[in-house]
Structure 1
Amino acid sequence: MAAENKKVWHTVTVESNDEVAEGIRRIVLRYPTRQKAKPGTHVDLEVPQPSGETLSRSYSIVDVDPTGHLIALSVLKVKASRGGSAAMHTLSAGTSLRATEPLQNFPLGVGASRYVLVAGGIGVTALVGMAAVLKARGADYEMVYVGRSRDVMAYLSELEAEHGDRLRVYAEGSALDVDALLDEIAADTRAASTELYLCGPIRLMDEVRRGWEHHGLPATNLRFETFGNSGSWAPQDFIVRIPRLGVEARVDANTTMLEALESLGVEMMFDCRKGECGLCEVRVLELDGQVDHRDVFLSRTQREEGTRMCSCVSRVVAAGTPVREDPEDETVDLEAAARNPGVVTIETT
């Protein structure tokens, strides 16, 4: 069951749906009433499926027009889409769907001596608005934008034009040295009052979190937003068992464990569906394979203990599956995975 979080729902209309980078579309929704969206906010959508059912998905708000009626999102089409991004890419102007008013889990602070924004891939959508507000405030800020190539980096030209040398871009031919970035922050006399805002793949987030802790920087000054479709392995089918309930479910590559168990009527606690809140955490009793932790809730030590996982985003892969080098590589030997899927036995909380 979902935790109460005072969501207010509206029926909204798709105003436009345009490509802004390779595989990324800017989708503008028209709301019936004026909305206020501060930097870092997102909306939850009920995304229609061909079956007639809907999937609940969260998308960061890029911007809101001056009237407050038009809210823009940007959606990356994930190669192994669970039905959310693929459906969003096909929405046509005039389509109606249900959406919440803006929700805030990633607020921009006030009063820091320095701000550093780090965007990985589609994570830039959560930071575009923050950068604009910091510029308007006259704050001391810089933005770091990391992507595979310029062709797949949404809003890159706009950000370069607006922020100039405050924007550092790492794409083909260059790579972000996280240690060097954090060394620079830690060596600055303003380190204790520098805030870093991060949105991107789990691997990037883990690297920054480890480095931030290693440098002894204030934990409260590192803030992040995540999306649960990036892990160490490409998604593949696996089996989940709950002995107490006599339940066994096959979780396909386009479905989460949480969704598979919900479809069988298992009562599950959840809220964010993004691997942040920890409400959907389950205990791991037995494991044949490897857990692909895609959350930011569990600590590194908790992950290594192997006794729990977040059912909304984390997955299981067959033993011996090689870790992918490219976090966006969704290539997987589906036939081999189907013959010998990973199996996890759990207990719900």
Structure 2
Amino acid sequence: MRFQDNWSTATLVSTRDLAPGIREFILRPDNHVCAPYAVGSHLKLSVLVGGQPDVRSYSLVGEAEPQGYRIAVRLAEDSRGGSRYLWSLQPGARVDVTSPTSLLQVDWQRPQYCLVAGGIGITPLLGAAQALMRKGADVSLHYAVRSRRDAAYVEELSTLLGERLTVYAADESRRLDLAQLFSGLSGGATVLLCGPMRMLDAARSAWSGCGRAPTDLSYETFGSSGRLAAEPFKVRLRGSREEIIVPRDRSMLDVLNAAGHEVMADCRRGECGVCAIDVVEVEGEIDHRDVFFSAEQKHENRKLCTCVSRAHGVVTVDTLERTDA
């Protein structure tokens, strides 16, 4: 597996509200050691959803700090419940966390770096901006939000980046034009992007339209963000009459495993593809929320990543389980 989860216990040291619906949490491990971690690192946290244990993943904000790991969580009413649980915690609460891990690869020798954030997607990019500024790199950050008051960490970023920071607030009629932004970059430039799935899809299309190499666009998404609102859907198992309901607040991966159908998984963020299973038939629409499959593969609907993807309607799948004859 790409991720070796090393769990330990941490204490919630403090919280603060950064913007409407966005709260910062400082988590200090029991050993009080917050070793340096790679850009784009995230933590897995143990949460309770509906009284049942579950796991959520959150990007670490900024570079390592002595007081503890810093994450920021948007309270999402349409989410699976992890954010509501974390928002219910008070300083002093005990939380199980993993060691930081990252899949984001940064080439530190590029002539230009363009960071693009959408909403809460700013969280992994603050650390990238800090690291690049410390190295004296040619870096800019483009931050798209619904309104300026929703721009978490904007004061910290403004102090760090100055005129290299551009905020695009929709309520100020200023919107980010990705095609225009990408076309103005120098040759050999690289983009680091984190935002909702719609932004990612638009970015990949604009990047390709500018004739840029796909490997020069690195990205993360929210993992659970999608085109469609989360709602319960039905999963049918190929070769049997079994039908399983996936509630709006649980993943297809967890529901299948709870029902005794073993589906392997690793990142649980829609990035590695380990949990992908075959799609046999769709009665409705699949909401692919992963960043593992290409746009063409998603359009074909032959596979889906069970850790994050959802559906409207009914999906018949093949978990590749076979019983002995």
TM over 0.5: yes
- Aligned alpha-carbon RMSD (Å): 1.6
Alignment equivalent of 1:97, drawn from 71, 95, 98: 95
Partner of 1:333: none
Any residues of structure 2 matched to 1:1-349 within 5 Å, and which? 3=1, 5-33=3-31, 34=33, 35-49=35-49, 51=51, 53-63=52-62, 66-67=65-66, 70-171=68-169, 172=171, 173-185=173-185, 188=186, 191=187, 193-244=188-239, 246-317=241-312, 342-349=313-320
Partner of 1:325: none
State the shift of 1:215 in Å.
2.2
Query: How far apart are the structure 2 equivalents of 1:250 and 1:49?
Result: 17
Q: Summarize deviations over 1:219-242 as a string: whole Å, max 9, x none.
A: 222111122222111111110011
Query: How far apart are the structure 2 equivalents of 1:297 and 1:39?
Result: 20
State the shift of 1:39 in Å.
2.1
Amino acid at match of 2:315: V
Query: How far apart are the structure 1 equivalents of 2:54 and 2:151?
Result: 26
Amino acid at match of 1:269: M
Task: Report if aligned partners of 2:179, 2:207 keep a CA contact under 8 Å in 1.
Answer: no
Moved more, 216-225 or 202-211: 216-225
Q: Summarize deviations over 1:180-228 as a string: whole Å, max 9, x none.
A: 112112xx3xx2x211001000111111112222322122221111222
Task: Report if aligned partners of 2:62, 2:130 keep a CA contact under 8 Å in 1.
Answer: no
Query: How far apart are the structure 2 equivalents of 1:228 and 1:40?
Result: 14
Query: How far apart are the structure 2 equivalents of 1:279 and 1:38?
Result: 22
State the shift of 1:66 in Å.
4.2
Q: Summarize deviations over 1:149-205 as a string: whole Å, max 9, x none.
A: 1222211122122211101111121111111112112xx3xx2x2110010001111
* Structure 1: stretches of 5+ with no match in the other structure: 318-341
Query: How far apart are the structure 2 equivalents of 1:4 and 1:209?
Result: 25
TM-score when normalising by structure 2: 0.93
State the shift of 1:107 in Å.
3.7
Amino acid at match of 1:229: S
Query: How far apart are the structure 2 equivalents of 1:81 and 1:221?
Result: 31
Give the match's secondary structure for 1:88: helix
State the shift of 1:103 in Å.
0.7
Task: Report if aligned partners of 2:3, 2:267 keep a CA contact under 8 Å in 1.
Answer: no
State the shift of 1:63 in Å.
3.1
Query: How far apart are the structure 2 equivalents of 1:306 and 1:277?
Result: 18
Moved more, 125-134 or 29-38: 29-38
Amino acid at match of 1:222: L
| CA 148–6 in structure 1, closer or farther in 2 if over 3 Å, else same | same
Give the match's secondary structure for 2:61: strand
Task: Report if aligned partners of 1:46, 1:97 keep a CA contact under 8 Å in 2.
Answer: yes
State the shift of 1:61 in Å.
0.5
Query: How far apart are the structure 1 equivalents of 2:246 and 2:138?
Result: 47
Query: How far apart are the structure 2 equivalents of 1:63 and 1:111?
Result: 21
Instruction: Give percent identity, aligned residues only.
Output: 38
Query: How far apart are the structure 1 equivalents of 2:240 and 2:151?
Result: 46
State the shift of 1:18 in Å.
1.6
Q: Summarize deviations over 1:282-320 as a string: whole Å, max 9, x none.
A: 211111101111111111111111222111111111xxx
Task: Report if aligned partners of 1:40, 1:108 keep a CA contact under 8 Å in 2.
Answer: no
Query: How far apart are the structure 2 equivalents of 1:107 and 1:32?
Result: 29
State the shift of 1:36 in Å.
2.0
Amino acid at match of 2:23: R
Give the match's secondary structure for 1:6: coil
Amino acid at match of 1:61: L
Task: Report if aligned partners of 1:44, 1:58 keep a CA contact under 8 Å in 2.
Answer: yes
Task: Report if aligned partners of 1:24, 1:154 keep a CA contact under 8 Å in 2.
Answer: yes
Moved more, 139-148 or 156-165: 156-165
